[in-house]
Amino acid sequence: MPKYSKLTANKKQITSSIIWLIALNWVNRILGFLTIIVLARLLTPHDFGVMAIVIIAIQLTESLTNIGSEQYFIQKNNATIADLYCAWTSNLIIKFFASLCFAALTPLIAKAFALNHLIPALFTISLLPFINALNNGWIIKLKKDLNYKSFVAISTLAKVIANISAILAALYFKNYWALILGALINAVLYTLFSYLFIKQKAYWGLINWQQQFSFSKWIILKGLVGHIRSKIDVWFASSIQGITGLGGYNFSKDLVLLPNREILSPISEVFFTAIAKEKNKSTAQTLKIRKALTIIYLISLPVAFGWSVIAEPFTQVILGEQWLPYISLISTLGFLVFTFSIGNFISYILTATGHVKALFFYDVFTLLFTLFILFFAYANTYINTINELAQIRIYIGLAIVLIGIKWLNYYKILTITEIIKPFAFPLIASILMILNVQIVMNIPNNIFLLISIIVVSLCTYVALIVIGCKYNALGKLESQFINQLINDGVNILKNKLTKHTRDYS
Give the start-to-end residue ranges of the domains of the chain.
Answer: 12-207
Structure confidence by residue, pLDDT tens digits, 108-145 = 877 776 777 778 888 888 888 889 888 888 888 877 77
Q: Is the pLDDT of residue 253 over 60?
A: yes
Q: Is the pLDDT of residue 1 over 50?
A: no
How many Cβ atoms are within 10 Å of 177's Cβ, its own excluded?
Answer: 20
**pLDDT-based confidence at residue 259 (cuts at 50, 70, 90):** confident
Whole-number pLDDT of residue 400: 93
**pLDDT-based confidence at residue 2 (cuts at 50, 70, 90):** very low
Q: Is the pLDDT of residue 221 over 50?
A: yes
Whole-number pLDDT of residue 10: 54
**Cα gap 232→396, rounded to integer Å:** 12
**pLDDT-based confidence at residue 311 (cuts at 50, 70, 90):** very high
Across residues 280-298, what is the average pLDDT? 89
- Of the candidates 144, 138, 80, the one whose C-alpha atom is nearest the C-alpha of residue 274 is 144
* Percentage with pLDDT > 90 across the chain: 24
Whole-number pLDDT of residue 4: 40
**Cα gap 313→315, rounded to integer Å:** 5
**Cα gap 59→235, rounded to integer Å:** 14
Whole-number pLDDT of residue 376: 92
**Cα gap 273→263, rounded to integer Å:** 16
Long-range contacts at 115-119 (CB < 8 A, ≥ 24 apart) = 115/50, 115/53, 118/50, 118/53, 118/54
Across residues 69-94, what is the average pLDDT? 79
What are residue 279's phi and psi, to 5 degrees?
-65, 135
Q: Is the pLDDT of residue 284 over 80?
A: yes
Q: Is the pLDDT of residue 501 over 60?
A: no
Are the C-beta atoms of 122 and 110 separated by less than 8 Å?
yes
Q: Is the pLDDT of residue 360 over 90?
A: no
Whole-number pLDDT of residue 297: 94
Residue bearing the bigger pLDDT, 482 or 28: 482
Across residues 373-389, what is the average pLDDT? 90
Q: What is the mean pLDDT of the chain?
A: 81
**pLDDT-based confidence at residue 188 (cuts at 50, 70, 90):** very high
**CA dist 99 → 61, 110, 124, 186 (Å):** 8, 16, 10, 17
Identity of the highest mean pLDDT range in 5-19, 81-95, 98-112, 459-473: 459-473
Are the C-beta atoms of 446 and 256 separated by less than 8 Å?
no
* Percentage with pLDDT > 70 across the chain: 81
**pLDDT-based confidence at residue 334 (cuts at 50, 70, 90):** very high
Q: Is the pLDDT of residue 491 over 80?
A: no
Whole-number pLDDT of residue 332: 95
Whole-number pLDDT of residue 7: 47
Are the C-beta atoms of 367 and 228 separated by less than 8 Å?
yes
Are the C-beta atoms of 326 and 252 separated by less than 8 Å?
yes
Across residues 335-342, what is the average pLDDT? 94
Q: What is the DSSP letter of 261?
A: I
**pLDDT-based confidence at residue 503 (cuts at 50, 70, 90):** low
**pLDDT-based confidence at residue 21 (cuts at 50, 70, 90):** low
| Sign for the pseudo-dihedral over CA of 81, 87, 92, 93 | positive
Structure confidence by residue, pLDDT tens digits, 440-470 = 999 989 999 999 999 999 999 999 998 998 8
